[in-house]
Amino acid sequence: DIVMTQSPLSLPVTPGEPASISCRSSQILLQSNGYNYLDWYVQKPGQSPQLLIYLASNRASGVPDRFSGSGSGIDFTLKISRVEAEDVGVYYCMQSLQAPLFTFGPGTKVDIK
Amino acid sequence: QVQLVQSGAEVKMSGASVKVSCKASGYTFTNYGITWVRQAPGQGLEWMGWISAYNGNTNYAQKLQGRVTMTTDTSTSTAYMELRSLRFDDTAVYYCARGPLRRWLQPNNDYWGQGTLVTVSS
């Protein structure tokens, strides 16, 4: 099974400043078609998870452009260019290489300093 | 608009069964699968399994094999997740999400239900 790890697990942020979360997979998520099968989700307090990024770097519908995903192979990064108060929540990476079997990372809790 | 509406909270005795429903609307049900994910109190997201709404194929998490059954009713665009022999550590919020039919280049799990709290008590 693919194991996903994230760092940091807790990230205090200052509004207006950038933020970055790392995700590492135990297996290469890059396939011969050139796509990396890595998605990012956020779960805001009291809400269901919502998709942010799919295939490592594609923003889901309605996601603000301050969110970006990058990386390839086993190392991936989610960046928020300028954090807003509404961005607090827990961010999860998830491998979709083995779809429809998915594996989530442990989550990174983002809150305001 | 795409919506997934789940059934209400449940309280069950240890050893009992629970069946959670997830009614889809706003899209062609059989063009997608349904992913089931649960979240124990204060914990992260755990993938439970998946069902194809196209042909009923399933894929379950190894740790739940033998206790979980996922089904769909295409006439009502509703997915069901039944968990048997409930244990205290099955206490969690259970989510359904619009999933893929297979590994593909479209977004996965792009719409989620509101969650169903299942509490297992003695």
pLDDT in tens, chain A (113 residues): 999 999 999 999 999 999 999 999 999 999 999 999 999 999 999 999 999 999 999 999 999 999 999 999 999 999 999 999 999 999 999 999 999 999 999 999 999 99
Inter-chain contacts counted by CB atoms under 8 A, chains A and B: 77
Assess A43–B contact: CB distance below 8 Å, yes or no: yes
Contacts 24+ apart (CB under 8 A), B80-85: B80/B19, B80/B20, B80/B21, B80/B22, B81/B19, B81/B20, B81/B22, B81/B36, B81/B48, B81/B49, B82/B17, B82/B18, B82/B19, B82/B20, B83/B17, B83/B18, B83/B20, B83/B118, B84/B17, B85/B15, B85/B17
Assess B73–A contact: CB distance below 8 Å, yes or no: no
All residues of chain A having their beta carbon less than 8 Å from the beta carbon of residue B46 are: 104
Output the pLDDT for position B122. Answer: 87
Separation in Å, CA of B27 to nearest CA in chain A = 16
